[in-house]
Structure formats: structure tokens, C-alpha cells
Structure 1
Amino acid sequence: MTFFWGKSYNHIWSNGAGQNMYFLKQCLEQIDGVDSVYFVYWRNDKKSLSDNMRLDLMDIDIYDSDEVIDKTDVLIEGTLTLEPQIEAEYRKRGAKIVSYRMGNDFIADMEKMVHDKPGARAFNGTKYDAVWMIPQHMNTNRCYLEIMSKAPVYEAPHLWDPLFLDHMTQSIEEPYRFGYERGHMKANGARISVLEPNISVLKNCMIPILIGEEAYRNHPELVKHIYLCNTYDIKDNDAIFNFIGFTSGVKDNIMTVETRHITPQFLAKYTDIVLSFQWENALNYVYYEALYGGYPLVHNSPMLKAHHVGFYYDGFDAYDGERQLINAIKSYDDDFESHKKWNDKLIDSVSPFNKENILKYQILLEKLGVKG
């Protein structure tokens, strides 16, 4: 599997892609007949690999692509975009080539096109035998990738494991602890955190601002604070400045802009409820992290709704979102055990060690003519 690191990605918590590659490795290793799974790179220097990438925690092997070219049956494009010349060299040795797509490339490329930004990722002439795509991107990306790559696109299970989260929580200092504290928000009012990255229309804070504002206007006694993470650097942008500046929450210093934070640390210190928004990005590691910690999640993800987790509001309906947020504040403690049961089922369903996930990836390998 191809692996990237550099100035734009030097911490395992920078984004979920690096973690995702490790979870994929864990899953593939469970398939009978898979001898080894390793990470490869090219045109980079291992000396520049930051300790924050946590290769020690992952216990992985990483090689220059030339080192393993003669013993690779399947080369999976992961976080390092495959180049045609690398693909060609592996094909000479009989390897199959797969692109594992973790991001919403189609929407990202549209945004780069309309805003005249560089760096569209999707195509560079590399040829693939198959594209493996995680479920939340099938609707928007399948035709884009299938037509342009001329390779079949297959849905691949989304994978997550609490390894990195559990390790990060060990560094949280007393008196804080990761995990929902029952009774806290009923006694003190709810601390609501919005954790969207605000770098795309796919995941941003605008609907959560509306939801939080409506909740504070109607039930000020229930809302202690609303934290808008990842907004500090954009606070002077006209679109956000002229938006939140007219909210009661900001005027009363109940809603505040915040910098970027590592999720489990922010949840442990400042959060009772996670309020989220997505558009065509229905599965997200932040969701799993919050649910694993037992935090109530107010969301608009149909895929999470299908798993009976959290408090679902419809699409862009901020009024529905406000109702669900207030419902969560009022009812979550009493229904905690029921929510925990459904949360645990969801977490198990995305585990790299879940038998159904292992079987699905085995079938994907078999479609390539590679028997696990």
C-alpha cells in the first residue's frame, strides 16, 4: 500500500487517511493466504518521517517501492498517489493495481475547478485493475472514477478501530477524562462541540451554527456553550463574519470560534454533545470517536440513522436539528444504556477484525484474480 508523509501530512491525527490505511492493513492481514501487507513510498526520505506518524504504534514495515517490487501481488494506491511509471514497473512483475479511495474526489475536484485551485488528485494516467471505494462516496464518485479510470468501482467496507484514540486518551491529564459524563449537562447546561474541518462544502459548521443558535434562543437554560472548532483561521472571512456576528450566541459569548484540536482531547475537556453536519459524506471517523466515547451525536447521516445511533435530523433542516439537539440534552442520560448498545454495534460493524468486513475484502481480492 502506498504511504505518504511530508509537510502537509506529518501527524497521524492530521486527517483520517493514514489511520484508514493502517486499518485496511489490519483487515487484509486477517485473510487466509495473505502473507504480508506493507507500506511503500518513493521519492522521499525515511529520515524525514515524523514520530507523530506513530509507526511505532502501528508496528508496520515501510519500504522504498523498489525494495518489494518483486514480491508484490497487489499494489494498493493509498495516501501516496500512484505514478504511471511506478505502476508500469509493478505490472511488469505481474502485480495487480488497485486505487483505494477514501476521500470525496469528485466534490473536491469540482471545488478546485470552480475556485481555480491547483491539485486535483483524481487522474494522472495511472491505470487500475479496480477501484475500492468506501460507502459514503459511492453516490457522488462511482461514475466519475469508473468512467475516467476505465476500471470497475467496488464498494469497500469503511474501517475503524480505537487503537489511535485509546493511545491518545492516555495523555489526557487529570481531572479530565475521555468519555461521556452522565448528569453533567443536566446539572450545568450542555457544552456543544462542532468539529467539522470547514475546508469543504462536504463538512462545515454553517448548519450547526443555525441549529445551535435556534437551540440557544429557544432554550437558553439548556445551552452552556457552543464551540466552533476549526473556525478561528476563517473568522474574518466575510461569509462567516457576517453570519455568526448576527447570532445571539456570539453576542452573548455562548458561541465561540476555536482553533484545531485533536478530537479525544477536546471531547474530554470541553464536550457533552457533538453537533455535526455532512453533505454526501455520511461516515466519518469523528462520529466513531464520539460514539465510542459514549457522547451523544446529533447528525444528519442516513448511514448512521440506519444503525440507530445518535440523534438524526434531516438534510439541511436546522429546525429539525434544533429539535434533535434539545431532545438529546433532555433524554440522553435516561436512555444512555440503549444508546450505548447501538453505539457498540456500530463500532463492531466497522472493525478491521469483523468477519463480514474480512470476507468482503477477500472477495475484492478474488475479483482481481488473487486468492486470499
Structure 2
Amino acid sequence: MTYERGIIINIGITFFWGKSYNHIWSNGAGQNMYFLKQCLEQIDGVESVYFVFWGNDKANISDNLQLDLMGVDVFHTDEVVDKTDILIEGTLTLEPHIEKEYRKRGAKIVSYRMGNDFISDMEKMVHDKPGARAFNGTKYDAIWMIPQHIKTNRCYLEIMTKAPVYEAPHLWHPIFLDNKIESMKDKHTFGYERERITKDGARVSVLEPNISVLKNCMIPILIGEEAYRHHPDLVKHIYLCNTYDKKDEDAIFNYIGYTSAVKDTVMTVETRHITPNFLAEYTDVVLSFQWENALNYVYYEALYGNYPLVHNSPILKAKHIGYYYEEFDAYDGARQLINAIKSYDADFETHVKRNKELIDSLSPLNNDNIRSYQMLIEKLGVRG
């Protein structure tokens, strides 16, 4: 069942802002909503794509969300409920009474899933934390899910929502990164500097947020320690970002305190930083870890600057990106980190070419991505 060629459709994407999200660099979800908007606008028959909210005040939108850079219209739900043909649940969780108002007018309802809800909800259940996002009674016509969460979340979402889950392309564009690079050009130069790591030893940055088992510094600590023990001349410094507020917790204090790298003040805990700033000022190599979260914007930001990336993402491995280590294998990770430090300059042009191919494939303006989202819309059976 497809939507009729030649009809005009309007698409709303729910959008949240508040204390937990008031800066475009707070997390990748807000950026993702803009990239989704940008891609959907390219589809034949789509007249307009806009952000939708309720229970909030537009006067409270922070300039740091950079809506001016996005060029996006933001409407209260009452302003657009009569014209919206597809309502996509984005960063603002859709409430059942809102869903019903759109359904009365024939709209299709989609949930766009960017996070690993299943593992996040497991963590909240185990640790008795509030705020599980997944279910509140809202009914959907489809779930659009980015590739890295299909394995862990498909059954969870399909069984509980009774809606089909479809894989949707992960989108990224350097618009926000370019804007940040321009704003700091008088202080720092963004991008990998050739021959620095072979001359002075590498400054290694671990940028994981440390708020979930999905992305944290535990394996990178082992990798960094093993690499430093055997090649102290090659590892100049290891920065553990987003760890300063956790440094006194037993699990981290009694862990890193026994490493040679910490004892020698080579490995340090750091506060949270805006990624491009930290890359430009402190980084030669990015060392990362993920568990069932094989794509994220930090990878793309590092690769856009052509920084060597040591990672365990099977999706990036399949595209021959960076230096891959196997799953939780810290020994392999240490080998790959040293390999990156030793060989990156010699292989630099090859990495630049592959990085560009990856970035181009993620673009909201990439024809393959546009076609994929058009097919997802067709599956909804929108009539306009």
C-alpha cells in the first residue's frame, strides 16, 4: 500500500527542549531531528516538515539549540494538527491524547527510535530508576529504527507496540560541526595534524559519556593501560572525558588507581567537553568503546576531522573505517591503538578517502537515504 503519487503531505516531528536538553551539543538526538527533517524535505510530494511541541513555551527555547541554523519552523500542536499527514515521535515522547487528536484527522503516527530503549529500560529496572521511555499507551503505525539498535530492540518494540519495526538510515551532516569549527578557528585548529603522534607520542582521548553500559570508558582504560605498559614512549597522555564526577566512586577509584598510567599521571579524569573543542585542543587519537551501539555522532565528528579512530564497531569495520578491535578484547584494542599510532601517517590518504565516503553516505541529501525514507513513507499508506 503506497501513498498516491502527486499528492501533497505535511510532516510534523515532535521536539523537546528543557533542562536536560538546552544545547545542540547536549546529545545527538536534536541534531538527528534536523537531519531527518532535511532528508524528508527532499522527497517528492512532501510539502513541509516542521517541529511540533506541547506543554512548553517557545519563549524558553535556548539560542544554543541553534534553530536559526536549522531554519526549522516550530509549532504548538494545536497550530498544525489539522494539516499534519504524518506525525513522527522524535525527541518529545508522544502522549496518547495527542496521538488520538491526530488520528481523528487521518494522520499516520510513527515513532523514530534513536536510542537503545531496551538496554536503557533494563538498566532502569535493575537500578530502580524512573523514566523508562518505551510505552505509555500511544499507538503507532510504524517504528523507524536506526541500524545499530535493530538487533536488541526489534522484538521489544514490535511485540509491545504491535507496530512493525523498519530499519531507517542513520543520518549525519557536518553543519553543526562546521559552525563550531568556524567559531573557534582563532583559538584552535580542528583536524588531525600529521606527524605529531610519531614525533611526540599520542594524546589519546576517550569521549564516551559514561551514563550507560552501552558507551563507557571501562574497556578503553584497559586498552590504554596495556598500550602504555608496553609502549610508554608512544602514549603521551590518555584523557578520560566525562569521568571527573565519577572519580570517587569505588568502581572507578579502585580500578584506575591501580594502573601504571594513572600512577605516572599519564591517564587523567576529565569533565564533560564539547567534542570538537576537545578534539581540536587535546586529541591525536580517539579511543572508543560501545556495546550494541555501533554508530554514533562522536565517530563521525572524529572521522570528519580525519582523527585516527580505534573502535569496536562492526558496522565501521565492514566499511574499513579506522582501527577495529574485537568486542571486549582489550589486548586486541591495545594492539590496534599502537598500530594506529605507528601507521596512521603512512596510510593517511587511504583513511581520508574512506572517511569521506562514509560521511557522504550519511548525508540527508544522499539519494539512497532519500529513497529509503520515501519507501518508509509509502509503507504507511498516506493519502494526503
TM (norm. structure 1) is 0.99
Q: Which has the higher contact order (CA 8 A, sep 6+)?
A: 2
Amino acid at match of 1:11: H
Aligned counterpart, 1:104: 116
Q: Which runs of 4+ in 1 moved over 4 A?
A: none
- Tell me which of 267, 288, 294 is aligned to 1:255: 267
Matched to 1:111, the amino acid is E
Determine the C-alpha separation between the residues in 2 that align with 1:15 and 1:268.
Answer: 19
Maintained 8 Å contact 1:365/1:371 = no
SS at match of 2:183: coil
Structure 2 unaligned blocks of 5 or more: 1-12
Alignment pair present for 1:180 and 2:192: yes
Aligned to 2:326: 314
Following TM superposition, by how much is the alpha carbon of 1:173 offset from its aligned partner in structure 2, in angstroms?
A: 4.6
SS of corresponding position for 1:39: strand
Q: Give the secondary-structure state (helix, strand or coil) at the position aligned to 1:250.
A: helix
What secondary structure sits across from 1:35 in the alignment?
A: strand
Within the candidate set 91, 97, 112, 2:103 is matched to: 91
Structure 2 CA distance, aligned partners of 1:194 and 1:322? 14
Equivalent positions of 1:233-252 (< 5 A) are 233-252=245-264
Describe the superposition over 1:321-372 as per-residue Cα deviations: whole angstroms up to 9, x where unpaired: 0000000000000000001111111111111011000000000000001379
- 1:170: which partner in 2? 182
Aligned partner of 1:138 in structure 2 is 150
Cα distance in 2 for residues equivalent to 1:289 and 1:314: 22
User: What amino acid is aligned across from residue 60 of structure 2 in structure 1?
Assistant: S
From 35, 38, 43, give the equivalent of 1:23. 35
Determine the structure 2 residue equivalent to 1:61: 73
Match of 1:328 in 2: 340
Give, as a single letter, the amino acid of the residue that structure 1 aligns with 2:199: A
Kept after mapping to 2: 8 A contact 1:33/1:371:
no
Describe how 1:183-262 pairs up with structure 2 within 5 A. Answer: 183-262=195-274
TM (norm. structure 2) is 0.96
Counterpart AA for 1:56: D
1:348 matched to 2:360:
yes
CA–CA separation in structure 1 for the residues paired with 2:383 and 2:328:
44
Q: After TM superposition, give the deviation of residue 179 of structure 1 in Å.
A: 0.4
8 Å Cα contact 1:292/1:343 also seen in 2: yes
Q: Is there any run of 5+ residues in structure 1 with no aligned partner, and where?
A: none
Partner of 1:42: 54
State the secondary structure of the residue aligned to 1:220: coil
User: What secondary structure, in the 3-state scheme, does the structure 2 residue paired with 1:309 have?
Assistant: coil
1:37 & 1:370 partners in 2: Cα distance?
15
Q: Which residue of 2 aligns with 1:123?
A: 135
Q: Alpha carbon RMSD of aligned pairs, Å? A: 0.9
Aligned pairs, number: 372
Counterpart residue identity of residue 310, structure 1? G
What do the CA deviations read for 1:181-200 (whole angstroms, capped 9, x no partner)?
00111111000000000000
